[in-house]
Homo-oligomer: A and B are copies of this chain.
Amino acid sequence: RNGARPPEPLAARLRFLAEADRLKTILRGTTIFDGSRRENSAEHSWHLALFAHLLGEHAARPADTRRALRMLVLHDLVEIDAGDAPIHGDHDPAEQEAKEQRAADRLYGLLPGDQGQALRRLWDEFEAAETDDAVFAKSIDRVQPVMANLECGGGTWISYAVDREKLDRRVGDKVRRGAPALWQALTPRIDAWFAAA
């Protein structure tokens, strides 16, 4: 180590954290709950972390909600390069996945080797949605925009012309898989909204 320069791992981490700041500029399809503006992926990720912290009791299978919380802090970082692909939009899933893989290579590659690999594995696990922790985390990621739409009077259900059946297939299935009680709790409000729409 050269006494005049910060140790290299720390410098790499600080560069990564400065780069990560750009997630605050990635706008999602959904709005914040008051409907006043679009939500960005950084504040969305914060909100999901809080969901995970509070909702562990409602996981379908015993999940390490603290690990799920950390997954959710990371899960959208690839959008810095790949952008957000709205769940009700018509992007090509294979193309989006290829973009996100390249983004993960670049971003996690900025970190010291071991640490970059550990973060990458946590993101890979989230994406694969096979472990109990990842299934729970995915259900949280899917349910938060449903709550946003309910709070703001329809949101992306209007802008993307979503019908009740499509919502169930694209969103409900995943929420029920990881946290069925959440979907059950919201179903009366969802049904009422679509019945009135």
Contacts and interface: CB of A to CB of B under 8 A. Distances in A.
Contacts of A49: 46, 49, 73
A185 B11 contact: yes
Chain A, interface residues (CB within 8 Å), range: 35 or more
A100 interface: no
A6 interface: yes
B66 A151 contact: no
Interface in A28-47: 32-34, 36, 39-40, 42-43, 45-47
B54 A182 contact: no
Interface in A143-171: 147-148, 151
A13 interface: yes
Chain copies in complex: 2
A70 interface: yes
B53 A73 contact: yes
A6 B185 contact: yes
30 contacts: A6-B181, A6-B184, A6-B185, A7-B181, A9-B57, A10-B181, A13-B55, A14-B147, A14-B185, A17-B47, A17-B50, A18-B33, A18-B147, A21-B33, A21-B148, A22-B34, A23-B43, A24-B32, A24-B47, A25-B36, A43-B43, A46-B46, A46-B49, A49-B73, A50-B74, A53-B70, A53-B73, A54-B115, A66-B66, A66-B70
Interface of A: 4, 6-7, 9-11, 13-14, 16-18, 20-25, 32-34, 36, 39-40, 42-43, 45-47, 49-51, 53-55, 57-58, 66, 69-70, 73-74, 111, 115, 119, 147-148, 151, 181-182, 184-186, 188
Given A4-B188, A10-B185, A17-B50, 11 more contacts: A6-B181, A6-B184, A6-B185, A14-B185, A16-B54, A21-B47, A40-B43, A42-B42, A45-B46, A50-B73, A53-B73
